[in-house]
Amino acid sequence: MTQVHVIGTGLLGTSLGLALRRVGDDVTLEDISPTHAALARDLGAGRLAESAVDGDGDAGFEPDLVVVATPPDVTAAVVARALTRWPTAFVTDLASVKGAVVNGLRATGTDLTRYCGSHPMAGRERSGAVSGRYDLFDGRAWVLTPTEETDPAATVLVTAVARSVGAAVSTLAPERHDAAVAAVSHVPQLAASLVAARLEPLDDAAVALAGQGLRDVTRIAASDPGLWTQILAGNAPAVRDVLTALVADLERVVDALDDLSTSTDAPGARGALAHAIAAGNAGHARIPGKHGAAPTTYTTVRVLIPDEPGQLGRLFAHIGEIGANVEEFHLDHGLGQAFGVAEIDVVPGAAAGLGEGLTERGWHLHG
């Protein structure tokens, strides 16, 4: 049994408490708001530690691990204070940007031996203790960001805790973590938001031409501006670097389109366009597929689905009869039509049998 002390009982802190209690750990809770801490306790995330509520000096207990789950802008200060309050405990934090925390700690001369930062990739659209889920970390990546000073025992303990709640642990240096999330999360968010923003001036007849591609590209454009302002501001240098490179790439495409707008010949312009799309192919191929493995190429079987209750159940019952294992499944709706198109991804060897089996059972394959 590990004794874990959680500071900050929002979504992440409460979810971690719920998850750790299920695996038998002893969890104490603390929040700058006594009401929030008591709510998390009432939800089953842990107990309120003696004298921990006011965060005073010697807290009267000695946790193995302190988890700082506060907003990013106070994380460094709370980590520094935790290292002082519990002189033998290891300390981690859950902030989504890591370099700023380490820099904040270094700026105050904090000894980083017992600190191993971390970042569980497990956000939700909602926040607060009441949104906490014991399975929030199940199957999610949890990145550890030890520094050179970090005691390997700290990394081992944080790894064990993260794994005990179902997360997949990996390790990156703080600055490499921040550069990675800039490219795989923060810049994609900005691109999705600003592509969606370009739809605002269109009239209804124009946006009616929206297809599945646009829907996919802009799905995350519905994200919360307040939350994302904090995230982007916290990782400003790394996001700026990736975004600057993206803008330069886009400007090369603008130049090519400009040439093509004024000249039908436009030497080099078509090459620049093809290069942009081909570079996207190469980058897309880097994204890991299912199970964290290298990208797998699946074959897609498309089926017309009448928009009536029970049709998907019937479809999956038939897929079960046929014995195909569905790797990915996506439902796409036709514009103004009372049915959709189901895209069923299977390993290439299974596609022909699935298509035949579905056709035999009366389904119409599509495209």
Binders in 135-154 for its own copies, by CB under 8 A: 135-136, 138-141, 143
184 lies in the binding site for its own copies (CB under 8 A):
yes
Nearer to its own copies, 63 or 132 (CB): 132
Nearer to its own copies, 5 or 318 (CB): 318
Closest separation between CB of residue 170 and its own copies, Å?
6
Closest separation between CB of residue 197 and its own copies, Å?
4
Nearer to its own copies, 156 or 208 (CB): 208
Tell me the C-alpha to C-alpha distance, in Å, between residue 151 and each of 7, 114, 126, 143, 155: 22, 6, 35, 17, 7
**CB under 8 Å, gap of 24 or more: what pairs does 104-110 form?**
104/75, 104/76, 104/77, 104/80, 105/76, 105/79, 105/80, 108/76, 108/80, 110/79, 110/80, 110/83
**Rounded-to-integer distance, Cα 256 and Cα 272, Å:** 6
Residue type, 81: R
Give the bridge partners for 120, in sequence order. Answer: 142
* Cβ 156 vs Cβ 144: under 8 Å: no
| Sole binder of its own copies in the list 24, 309, 349, 362 (CB under 8 A) | 309
Which residues 207-236 are close enough to bind its own copies by CB under 8 A? 207-211, 213-226, 228-229, 232-233, 236
Contact pattern for its own copies over residues 64 through 93, marking x by CB under 8 A: ------------------------------
Question: Which tokens go with 165?
Answer: 């709640």
Nearer to its own copies, 84 or 359 (CB): 359
Closest separation between CB of residue 295 and its own copies, Å?
10
Closest separation between CB of residue 87 and its own copies, Å?
30
1 lies in the binding site for its own copies (CB under 8 A):
no
Any idea what DSSP says for residue 189? H
User: Using CB under 8 A, which of the segments 39-47, 59-67, 105-113, 327-335 binds its own copies?
Assistant: 327-335
Closest separation between CB of residue 31 and its own copies, Å?
21
- Return the axis-axis angle of helices 236-262 and 187-197, rounded to nearest 10°: 40
Which residues 228-287 are close enough to bind its own copies by CB under 8 A? 228-229, 232-233, 236-237, 239-240, 242-247, 249-251, 253-254, 257-258, 260-261, 269-270, 273-287
Count of residues interacting with its own copies (CB under 8 A) = 137
Nearer to its own copies, 30 or 343 (CB): 343
Tell me the C-alpha to C-alpha distance, in Å, between residue 33 and each of 40, 70, 132: 11, 12, 17
288 lies in the binding site for its own copies (CB under 8 A):
yes
**Rounded-to-integer distance, Cα 108 and Cα 97, Å:** 19
User: Using CB under 8 A, which of the segments 64-72, 85-93, 105-113, 194-202 binds its own copies?
Assistant: 194-202
The region that residue 347 occupies, defined by phi over 0 for left and psi between -120 and 50 for alpha, beta otherwise, is beta
* Cβ 295 vs Cβ 301: under 8 Å: no
Which residues 151-170 are close enough to bind its own copies by CB under 8 A? 166, 168, 170
Residues in the chain, overall count: 367
The region that residue 159 occupies, defined by phi over 0 for left and psi between -120 and 50 for alpha, beta otherwise, is alpha
| Sole binder of its own copies in the list 161, 192, 301, 354 (CB under 8 A) | 192
